[in-house]
Structure formats: structure tokens, C-alpha cells
Amino acid sequence: MQSNDTADWSDDELFEHHSFIASKGQDPLRVDKFLLNFIEYATRNKIQQAAKSGHIWVNGSIVKQNYKVKPGDEVKVLLEHPPHEFLLVPEDIPLDIVYEDDVLLVVNKPAGMVVHPGHGNYSGTLINALLHHIQDLPVNSNERPGLVHRIDKDTSGLLVVAKTEAAMTHLAKQFFDKTSEREYVAMVWGNVEDEEGTIEGNIARNPKNRLQMQVFPEGDEGKEAVTHYKVLERLGYVTLVSCKLETGRTHQIRVHMKYIGHTLFNDERYGGDKILKGTTFTKYKQFVDNAFKLLPRQALHAKTLGFVHPVTGEQMRFDSEIPADMVQCIEKWRHYSKHSQ
């Protein structure tokens, strides 16, 4: 599946344009369900409205929402979307700022906060909060103010934000050159066999579901990705691990850990919200359900961040506490593993 996302603005109608080519292995699937798999934050209602308005095309012809997509079909859709300047509105949202000076700041992002505005998340993002805190943020190549890197909506933890063009260039080069330090703590399904290891495998969009990424071990698709992991604690049917990123691909830890058979605990997008390891006892199922309620997101926290200061040349290193929801879930598993031997 190939995709091409562009945006066309006009004074009276605002649309986001998406174009996809169904992969050779695509099973026949209703076009509305197909598009739900490929457009993040789109809703069935929005897609059905697009169909009613004649804004879904397959191979150049308008289709209804029940059209079955076949391999090789070119699917296009126009969705209502606010203009770019509407997305970049300062909002008075509290920020947990760990460090700040004239050229950069380090922020501890809570789980549930989207980093930058996009389809379905037009406000309440980290960017909206930053624009209220800082008057003039430099814009990166994707027109995202201040961002040098990002973390997923439901991942908590540390991010560095550039306040000047020079700082952004300097910091971006460190991430590109793999000289920055990024360590995450994750809880994954299963008992990870090796005490430590390295996962290598190119990452690209899953051809059957664009909302997921996938490992391509042959290196024929995607971008190089390297994750170093180390076991921190074994908790029976789950394991607490440290993951150090050498590269920073979308969903890298989530995809790499699933690739080696250890999906992140309660990672809905990659199937971690199901019982992947353990017993069939009803009591155990209830225990896991309660653990999911304690931690209603993937068990992933960006704990440590290190880089060279773009002005002083000083090595900066920041560490953050694992958030309460994740701590409570870890404690629950710790107690279970001790008392179920």
C-alpha cells in the first residue's frame, strides 16, 4: 500500500486529502472500513459523511461506502479539516517543565496528551500549550513548532523542545547522528528470555493497516531501526524492560517488542489489550482486567533523555519518575507474581 497525504485549502471549504493504493494482499473490504484502517483519528461518521457527499473515489470513480476494495485499487477521500493556522492556537494548558533556558526546554509529557495538532486532535496538544508558554517557536521541516522529536499520545515522558532555529538544527543533528540518549521503561507480555539484547529490523507502515507499523527484517522496505533492551524485573507473565533507542522510528519500541514476541502490556493498537500470556482461570482474567483499568494505555514511559547543549556544549541528562498509573500496575503484577508461585 502506498499513500500520499496532501492538504488543499479554499476560503469556503476545507479538506484533507488522502490517497491510498491497496496492496496486492488486500482482502475484499468495504471502503469505509478500509479507510478507518488507514486514517488516524478518522471516525466512521466522518467517512460515511464523505461517502454521502460523493467525496470517496476508487480508480477515479465516485463510490458508496459499501464498495469492496480490491488489490491495486486507488482509493481517494476528502475530509473536512481546519486550516493550518487554526491548529496552531496558543492554549493555556499547564506544562510539567523539567528544565528551561533561553534556547531550549525539557518537558515531561503526560499520557493522553497529543504532541502536535492533526486530524481529530485540533486542540489540547503539547504544541498548543508550548505556543502559550513561548511567543516565537522555530518551525521544523514538518511545520511543527519547536519539535525535535516526539512520543506517542499514550506514552508518557521526556521531550526536548527547541526555542531557536540554531538550537533546533543542532539538536536535530544529534538525533540524526544517534548521539542523543533516549531510554524508555516498558512492561511487556511474557517472560523475556535473554537478560539483554538488540532488536534490528527496518520499520515501515503495515501495508494492510496504515495505523500500524511493521518490521521488515529483510530491509526491503522502511527505515533502519535499532533498539537495545535490558530486563529490569521479571513479574511472572509480564516483564519490565529498559529500552534504549539508537534510532527513533514511529512506534519503534512497540513494534520491535511485538516482533520478538513481547507486545507491550495494554497496547491496544498492537493487540496488547488481550491476555497474551498466562492461565485460563477466571480469577486471572479478572486480575488482568483490573490491571488494564489501572493502566488504560500502553505501558511505556520515556524515562531518560540526554543530549549536548547546543550553546554551552555541556552534556545534559534528565531523568523522570515513572508515572503513578504505571507504578500501580507494576506493583499489582509484582504482588501477583509473588503470591501465585
The alpha helices in 177-323, defined as continuous H runs, are: 252-259, 282-294
Is 152 among the catalytic positions? yes
Asked if 336 contacts 216 with a C-beta cutoff of 8 angstroms, the reply is no
Mind giving me the DSSP string for 108-137? EEPTT--SS-BTTB-SSSHHHHHHHH-S--
Which candidate in 152, 154, 267, 273 is catalytic? 152
Task: Please give the C-alpha separations between residue 56 and each of 14, 33, 79, 164, in angstroms, as whole numbers.
Answer: 16, 13, 9, 42
Buried b (16+ CB within 10 A) or exposed e, 292-320: bebbebbbbbbbbbbbbebeeeeebebeb
Residues 6+ apart with CB under 8 A from 147: 115, 116, 127, 140, 159, 161, 162
- Residue holding cell 509484582? 334
Q: Which of 11, 22, 9 is nearest to 76 (CA)?
A: 22
User: Cα torsion for 139, 144, 148, 152, to the nearest 10°?
Assistant: 170
For residue 136, count CB atoms less than 10 angstroms from its CB and return exposed for 0-12, middle for 13-18, buried for 19 or more: exposed
Helix (H) or strand (E) holding 100: strand 97-100
- Residue holding cell 507502515? 205
Dist. CA 140–CA 274, nearest whole Å: 38
Angle between helices 31-38 and 44-52 (to 10 degrees): 130
- Would you please indicate which residues are annotated as catalytic (active-site) residues? 152
